[in-house]
Structure formats: C-alpha cells, structure tokens
Amino acid sequence: MDDLILVTGAGGFIGGHLVSELRQLGHRRIRAVDIKPMEEWYQVLPGADNRQLDLRHLDACAEAANGARQIYNLACDMGGMGFIETHKAECMLSVLINTHMLMAARDARVERYFYSSSACVYAAGKQTRPDVAPLKEEDAYPAMPEDGYGWEKLFSERMCRHFREDAALETRVARYHNVYGPHGTYEGGREKAPAAICRKVIAAQRAGADEIEVWGDGQQTRSFMYIDDCLFGTQTIMASDITEPINLGSDELVTINHLIDIVEDIAGVRLKRRYNLAAPKGVRGRSSDNTLITQKREWAPAVRLRDGMEKTYGWIYDQMTVPVASRRVYS
C-alpha cells in the first residue's frame, strides 16, 4: 500500500474515479496527472500528488513515472461521437502519450502498466446492424477501426505488446465499452450518449419544451458500463496474468431510443423526438462479448443500466439546477 501508483488522465471522468477508489482501498501514495488546470479536473483528491503535465512530451512522462511501481495510463484526447468524428487528428496525437509513457515506464523500471483502450478498435464491418453480434477480442482484426480515435487505440495496443515482448514491461490492456456515470462530461461537445440524453431531457423540462433532438434514427444500439463496474474490472485486469487486450463492458444491448425511454422514466416525462439523421452517430451496433473475461477472471458487470442511469441523471440534474452547497454526493 506504500508503493507509488501513477494515474494519468486523473482530471478526467474515469481517472478521477480511479484515484478516489485507490485511496479508499488504502493506497497511500498516488500521483495524479492531467494536462488540464486543476480547477478543471472533475475530481481532485486532497493528499494525492496532483500535477499538471502535458504527457505528449517525453520529459513530462519521465517526471510523472519517476518512482512509480504501477501506472494506469488513462490519458488521451477523446469524447463522444460528436468529438471524435470531427477531431481525428487531435485524437491520433494521443499516440504520443502512450508511446512516451511506455518509454518512461521502461526507463523507470515500472513493474506493471495498464492501458485503457476502446471498443472503437473493432472492425467497422462487424458493426453494421442494430442486432449486432457481441464483439469478441479477435474481431479487431483484420483491422478497420473507428477512423482517427480507433486507429490510435489499436496502434497503442500494439505498442504495449511490443514493450512487453522487447522490454519485459508487464502491460495490461482493457477495451472499454461506453463507460458512464456521475462526475463526467455532460455538455460542451465531448459528452457521450448517456450524459447527453440526460442533459437534453433536463434542459427540455427546465425550458418547458416538449421535444429533444436525437442523433440518428434512434435505432442504433450500444451497451453501456457503469463507472463502478469499470473500476473493479480495471483493477481486476491490472492484477491478472491476462497479457492480450480484453473486453471490459456490459453485454446489455439497448437502442438509443430505449435509453431515452429509461431517462424519461427516471425524469417522469414523455417528450417528442426530433431525429437528426445528419448528426454524427457512429457504427450501427456495438456490444461487448464478455466470454473471455468471465472465463479468466469471473468478472461480470453488476450494475443494471436502469440503476446506473438513475445515479447519472441525478448527478447531472444537480449540476444543472442545484446550488453547489446543496448538491448531493454521488459515487
């Protein structure tokens, strides 16, 4: 518990939750790093070694990795479909972060290195129907991932593999499938579908409107993993002997229309839907095949989508309507 753990991307959604979780588990030395000024971090843990560093640069990675025994590399430039479809070059530049972090980890003799990949690495031809077959790990090849962001993630997975083979750096890679929950982006263009839908429903209620805009026709399908399941799965994979990239996600497949149904039910409203077929919408269908992680680690998501969305909605509602001093605490 006295070993130094580095979490990069700690000012972001998953990274902030992970720093908090590690401290709750009793880890006493945590270094939290993000490119954003600390006043823009989603969560700042007092007592952690909090640093603002641009990890696209090797010297910053060396500073971050110095003395660390384990590294959770969650840092990247990303967002929902509205961001990654229009910022492909920016997403690709995140390859500098993982490349330089791997080099710094090797030089610092880090014992174990976790990389957060994405379901966006999966071949587009496997995701053309709403009733998509759950994606297995081998479905990433032959390669045709999401342009920009997906290619960066797939390349970085290979970098982790080759540093493990050539430099004896123990690397672990999880392919995250649509993580959601409180303390994340819900406006500004980087938000993902669960948070965006919550925001739209709340905004419609507050404005007295009777409709919301939906990107696509609402029939596209996804699975969504609550943050608590992501944190537990991440640490499970980090501690395991699983060296190849592995899925970490929910297999509870839903349409975007059904996700809206859930949020409307939580909010106690029914709204008209104005479908914007020209908006970014991503692949037609995507879900996680959890066979491998179930076999190797007996892991399965524990939080139902309805329950996780209720917590997410409550947190976003408070951000949009409640004075800071009166807001509730969400985990």
Active site amino acids: 149
* Contact yes or no for 15/8 (Cβ under 8 A): yes
134: which residues sit within 8 A by CB, 6+ positions away?
251, 253, 287, 288, 289, 290
Taking the alpha carbons at both ends of the chain, their separation in whole angstroms is 23
Place of tokens 């943050």: 227
263: which residues sit within 8 A by CB, 6+ positions away?
197, 198, 201, 309, 313
Residue 269: how many CB atoms within 10 A of its CB?
A: 14
Verify cis geometry, omega within 30 degrees of 0, for the bond prior to 301.
no
Pinpoint the alpha helices (H) of 108-255. 149-167, 193-207, 227-238
Q: Which of 135, 145, 130 minimizes the C-alpha distance to 284? A: 130
CA-CA distance, 54 to 16, in Å (whole number)? 17
CA-CA distance, 234 to 71, in Å (whole number)? 12
* Contact yes or no for 116/176 (Cβ under 8 A): yes
Identity at 158, one-letter amino acid code: R
Q: By three-state DSSP, how is residue 72 classified? A: strand
By CB atoms closer than 10 A (0-12, 13-18, 19+), residue 90 is: middle
Q: By three-state DSSP, how is residue 276 classified? A: strand
